[in-house]
Amino acid sequence: MVFFAGRSMTKPLIVVNFKTYASASGSSAEALAQAMEKHSDGPARMVAVVSAFDLQAVRAAAPTLEVWSQHLDPVGQGSFTGWLEPQTAIHRGAQGTIINHAEHKVEMNHVAELLAQLPEGFPTCGCAADLDEARNLAAMGPTFIAVEPPELIGGDTSVTTADPSIVSDTVAVVKATNPNVRVLCGAGVKSGEDVATAISLGAEGVLLASGVTKAADVAFVLADLVSKLH
């Protein structure tokens, strides 16, 4: 199975975490994914990170959009009630996953065991709250690391404005540990200016949620996010 077929590894990423917002769940998740899909051939690699409940429906509604799971567990098929088993998630349409988000923290051995279990080439994005966590994750070799200071998540101020050094410092730490890992930044990202600033600081994309999922005009916000990319 090839997970990167048709997916650019050079475009900056705009990764939208749907979380469990009403505006990004069920039929609303499908509509949001379709809005994102309109930009999937543009200057950014668009990724929707959806609830496991919505994986199959979102993939059907927006077949050319890249869709990730919000979490996976390092378990197999068997007696694992309530866990998110990777092979079933992949079967239902998951093309990647985030792990260790600030709202769903896990132990580092959880991340290591999951990475060892996933198929080769399956995109994984480990979320880090600080430099130490980014360094530890980078040593495991995920595809991406997203640095997100927890105090800025969901706020009105982007990390690129409030604490730009954590972005550039994370890039330096991650690349020194594992130069193959790509760095994203998140927390408070809402605009094309935020995306452009993230790129200028050395990140290769952004991870955001409420800036898109709670927007009054989703089409406008999505267009603005890619407006300064070439």
Average pLDDT score over residue span 167-172: 93
Q: In the predicted model, what is the mean pLDDT of residues 89-116?
A: 97
Look at residue 78 and tell me whether its pLDDT is greater than 90.
Answer: yes
CATH topology of domain 13-225: TIM Barrel (3.20.20)
**Domain layout of the chain by residue ranges:** 13-225
Q: Is 148 an active-site residue?
A: yes
Secondary structure (DSSP) of 108-135: HHHHHHHHHHSPTT--EEEEESSHHHHH
Tell me which of 101, 107, 133, 204 is the catalytic residue: 101
Q: Are 212 and 191 in contact (CB under 8 A)?
A: no
**% the chain with pLDDT above 70:** 90
User: Which segment of 113-127, 148-162, 174-188 scores lowest on mean pLDDT?
Assistant: 148-162
| Residue 153's pLDDT band (cuts 50, 70, 90) | low
Task: Name the helix (H) or strand (E) containing 56.
Answer: helix 55-61
Of these residues, 66, 133, 148, 204, which one is catalytic? 148
Question: What pLDDT is stored for residue 7 in this prediction?
Answer: 59
Rounded to two decimals, the pTM is: 0.93
Report, as an integer, the average pLDDT of 114-124. Answer: 97
CA-angle at 91, arms to 79 and 20, nearest 5°: 80
Say if CB 229 and CB 196 are below 8 A apart.
yes
- Tell me whether residue 101 is one of the annotated catalytic residues: yes
Q: pLDDT of 5-58, one tens digit each? A: 445 568 999 999 999 999 999 999 999 999 999 999 999 999 999 999 999 999
**Tokens in use for 103?**
């709202």
